[in-house]
Structure 1
Amino acid sequence: MINKRLNVLFVPILGAGHVNGCIGVAERMIESGHRAVFMVDTVWSGKLTAYGIEEALMTPEGTVPPISAVEKARYMMAVGVIGGASAHQKARLRATVADWWTKHAQYMDGELRRLLPVIRPDVIVLDQFVTLPAAELSGVPCVWCWSSVPLVIIDDERAPPVQSGLSASGDQRLWHEFRELVRDVTREKWQAFNEWAVGRGCEPLPEYCFHSPTRYLNIYGYPLELDYQDIRPLGRNYVRFDALKRTERHLPFAVPPELATKPGALVYFSMGTISSVDVQNMRRLVAILAKSPHRFIISMGPLHKEYTLADNMWGQESVPQIRVLPLVDLVITHSGVNTVTETMFFGKPMIAMPVFGEQYDNAQRLHDKGFGLRLDAYKCSEEELLAAIETLLNDKALAERLAEVSRRIQTDNSLAKVSQLIEDFVQNPRKYIE
């Protein structure tokens, strides 16, 4: 056990999924007596103090000024990342996405360089998709926290390519085609990013990779029952936890009386902060769910005022998901990694309706492993969605399997060990990294 209070600097991507994953780790560090500081923009100002987290605000100057979740989502809709196209079709947009990540990295890198001498961290916890040279060159031990599907950590030919939504037991020729497509459309962007990182003093990045995970302790949250280590083992500098789940102790929740008195099973429906901005599709899905005999708690998203709910529903802009999940019988989700891992924690079946990115992989993995059903968020029919709800609610064998998974996850309580792991890494980095 370390004999000093660590200054832990968290540098997450400033989206709800990434920040929430880091909160789960930060809470455990704080419980162990350490200081947790998050590098955030003004959009997040004041939102983390309830967890005991300090905020180090970035300056608004730079190539990427702070933007809200709505603005991010509208941009993603405009370029086609959010919408009804397939994962394969969206792979052709990777060059545009790579441009955005380059600008993001340059801005975050500059802010990190400015804040490092102010905070003087003992360890840096990054939740990013691309390398930040300021962290790599700082001499401070770095932990890469992946609040994403494990496929994103390292591209291994033995597993499906990330963001493809292809099955681990499927046609590997499709894996190869998808990989080649992504490499073709991102080759020039990767070369430019690599030149920038090398120009900042970093070693060259692995080919077609915007980060180098071998230089960090890597931690990620994914249940054992869904992970890919059976087909693609990872090295000693990769440590799995079942979930990077925050507690939300300060956010009490009870089923509203107007919903509690109605008949039917209780279902939680959330498309996440970003995907829910597609109001047209939210209206379509809500209209289908209105025909169900069951009750729905709905996380409506930031544009919640632009559509209305039916009588069998209750919702708000956002709900305390950790408090809601134990109360429901079924979850309908965009299959973001936090929702998937948290729902597995509580042992609930899922209808997974991915919209973009690693959501496709999570949805397919759930489907393949028999813990839920994958549907198309934009093309599923009324009959398909309503039938899927009834199928999962009436699957007693699945309920028993999920209850056993939940018992294992809660008994193992793996995230409780994250503080000791990071302390050990700070004291002896070579134990984990050559």
Structure 2
Amino acid sequence: MTKQKTALVSVNAGVGHVNACVAVGQRLLDSGNYRVVFAISELLKGKLKAYSFEEALIPEDIPEVVDPVKCFAKKLLEMGMLTDQTPIEMLKHSRKGPVDLVQLYKKLDKDMEQVISDVKPDVILIDHLFCVPSVELSGIPLVWVWSSIPLFLNDDDERLPPGASGYSVNGNRDEWKVYRELKYEANISAWNEWNDYIVLKGCPPLRDNSFITAHKWLTVYGYPKEIDYTDIVPMAKNYIQFDNLMRRENNNIEKFEIPEQLKDKPGKLIYFSMGSMGAVNVENMKRLCTILAKSKHRFIVSKGPKHDEYDLPDNMWGQSTVPQVSVLPLVDLVITHGGNNTITETFNYGKPMIVLPLFYDQFDNAQRLQDLGLGIRLNTYKCTDEEMLTAIEKLLNDNELNEKY
């Protein structure tokens, strides 16, 4: 019998990143050829064991282990990322972010050096915002798992709008240029510091204004072909596209059935989720639920970590979290923040989308779907009753669109 190899997965502790890497890890386990070890923040202790993975915990400088979702959401709230700002306003107001990340990744680099020594992997998979020198210099085969949109993999190509801008591929290129210049200014201090750091460690210099090295390694990413940007810029041969990186729910979660209180009610069934981060803005969740209460349809709601701070109207049922990949096949429409996992999973099940973007690649996903006539982008904080209710009816009754899906 062939001895199992060891795959070490190092992943950003964000929910979307982890879910995508879980999907890849599950396929490695399915092959029977690998044991899979996740190098993960101690904030997520035990979360990966539920999927039959091993865990190598990265210590955190915190007084006690807290709810990771609330921890990360608190950081986003403090950065102003969950407020009514345009992408370019967010870029102007979040310039400290990259500088803070440099210190976090220096720590991760040292931690990963120890993890690699302890685990002795045969292959390393990473999903991070920065490259990790201890991984790149280990001499162990490396695979990037890219859980964000592919736009960032070609972010320096002027044929495409800059990532996180939310600009249309058919938009004003002068606006693209302004955004890129602001992004460069926002990142240059952190980029210089990180580039100096990795060069001192023995790595080649980074590409200008980029913190990652996915272009040098085998990289897998999840994004449906129908909405990928390859019609404008073909991907390099080392980038391997999958329609999604969709995890299976673990065996501890029962098959989802439509809740009794919604079963006999009239109307279509709609899934509403602003993601674990977006849902912490309780006032906006209450505002959106008030609008949706005026709809004749039924709603399954992912209420988020502050689920106990608001009640749902009669045409809704929800919990703090719901098993999304089990819910999606049952619904007729999805109202989402536009995170990459939700976009690709929803697309996999052929459901039209209303996208209410909050930050980062969510703006790009929302605009891409709207450009292609596959969904509707609305302002997360300012959409009116009429805009939302009209969008719902438009998508539910668009027979041509539903045939495409």
Q: TM-score, normalised by structure 2?
A: 0.96
- Between 1:100-109 and 1:260-269, the stretch displaced more is 100-109
Partner residue in 2 for 1:152: 152
Partner residue in 1 for 2:175: 174
Residue type at the aligned position of 1:70: K
Residue 263 of structure 2 is aligned to residue 270 of structure 1:
no
- The secondary structure found in structure 2 opposite 1:19 is helix
Residue type at the aligned position of 1:86: T
Partner residue in 1 for 2:296: 293
Partner residue in 2 for 1:30: 29
Partner residue in 1 for 2:236: 235
Residue 316 of structure 2 is aligned to residue 313 of structure 1:
yes
- Between 1:56-65 and 1:236-245, the stretch displaced more is 56-65
1:113-144, Cα deviation, whole Å (9 max, x unpaired)? 11111111111110111111111111111111
Partner residue in 2 for 1:15: 14
Distance 1:108 1:66 in 2: 19
1:40 shift after superposition = 1.3
Aligned pair in 2 of structure 1 residues 119, 63: CA closer, same or farther (>3 Å)? farther
Q: Which runs of 5+ in 2 are unaligned?
A: none
Partner residue in 1 for 2:137: 137
Partner residue in 2 for 1:283: 286
Distance 1:396 1:264 in 2: 17
Distance 2:185 2:46 in 1: 42
Partner residue in 2 for 1:348: 351
Distance 2:248 2:125 in 1: 19
Does the 8 A contact of 2:41 with 2:58 survive in 1? Answer: yes
Partner residue in 1 for 2:193: 192
1:61 shift after superposition = 4.3
- The secondary structure found in structure 1 opposite 2:220 is strand
1:64 shift after superposition = 12
Identical-pair percentage: 45
Residue type at the aligned position of 1:27: Q
Does the 8 A contact of 1:295 with 1:313 survive in 2? Answer: yes
- The secondary structure found in structure 2 opposite 1:8 is strand
1:379-417, Cα deviation, whole Å (9 max, x unpaired)? 101110111011101111111000xxxxxxxxxxxxxxx
Does the 8 A contact of 1:267 with 1:296 survive in 2? Answer: yes
Partner residue in 1 for 2:331: 328
Distance 1:299 1:289 in 2: 14
Distance 2:284 2:232 in 1: 36
1:77-104, Cα deviation, whole Å (9 max, x unpaired)? 2221221010111111342120232122
Distance 1:17 1:30 in 2: 20
Residue type at the aligned position of 2:158: E
Distance 1:62 1:327 in 2: 41
1:4 shift after superposition = 4.7
1:63 shift after superposition = 12
- The secondary structure found in structure 1 opposite 2:167 is coil
- The secondary structure found in structure 1 opposite 2:22 is helix
1:134-167, Cα deviation, whole Å (9 max, x unpaired)? 1111111111101111112231211110000001
Partner residue in 2 for 1:214: 215
Residue type at the aligned position of 1:278: N
RMSD: 1.8
- The secondary structure found in structure 2 opposite 1:76 is helix
Residue type at the aligned position of 2:321: S
Distance 2:86 2:64 in 1: 28
Partner residue in 1 for 2:381: 378
1:220-256, Cα deviation, whole Å (9 max, x unpaired)? 0000001011111121111000000011152221111
Distance 1:267 1:90 in 2: 30
Distance 1:66 1:8 in 2: 28
Distance 1:232 1:67 in 2: 41
Does the 8 A contact of 1:64 with 1:104 survive in 2? Answer: no
Q: TM-score, normalised by structure 1?
A: 0.89
Does the 8 A contact of 2:160 with 2:232 survive in 1? Answer: yes
- The secondary structure found in structure 1 opposite 2:227 is coil
- Between 1:186-195 and 1:326-335, the stretch displaced more is 186-195
Residue 73 of structure 2 is aligned to residue 70 of structure 1:
no
May I ask how many residue pairs the two structures share in their alignment?
401
1:65 shift after superposition = 8.5
1:358 shift after superposition = 0.6
Distance 2:159 2:2 in 1: 42
Structure 1 residues 405-424: aligned runs within 5 Å:
none
Residue 259 of structure 2 is aligned to residue 256 of structure 1:
yes
Residue type at the aligned position of 2:139: G
Distance 1:41 1:192 in 2: 24
Distance 2:208 2:250 in 1: 43
Residue type at the aligned position of 1:126: I
Residue type at the aligned position of 1:299: S
Residue type at the aligned position of 1:323: S
Distance 2:120 2:395 in 1: 50
Residue type at the aligned position of 2:39: M
- The secondary structure found in structure 1 opposite 2:225 is coil
1:66 shift after superposition = 7.2
- The secondary structure found in structure 2 opposite 1:92 is helix
Partner residue in 2 for 1:431: none
Aligned pair in 2 of structure 1 residues 330, 373: CA closer, same or farther (>3 Å)? same
- The secondary structure found in structure 2 opposite 1:240 is strand
1:262 shift after superposition = 0.8
Does the 8 A contact of 1:64 with 1:107 survive in 2? Answer: no
Partner residue in 2 for 1:247: 248
Aligned pair in 2 of structure 1 residues 306, 67: CA closer, same or farther (>3 Å)? closer
Residue type at the aligned position of 1:353: L
- Between 1:214-223 and 1:88-97, the stretch displaced more is 88-97
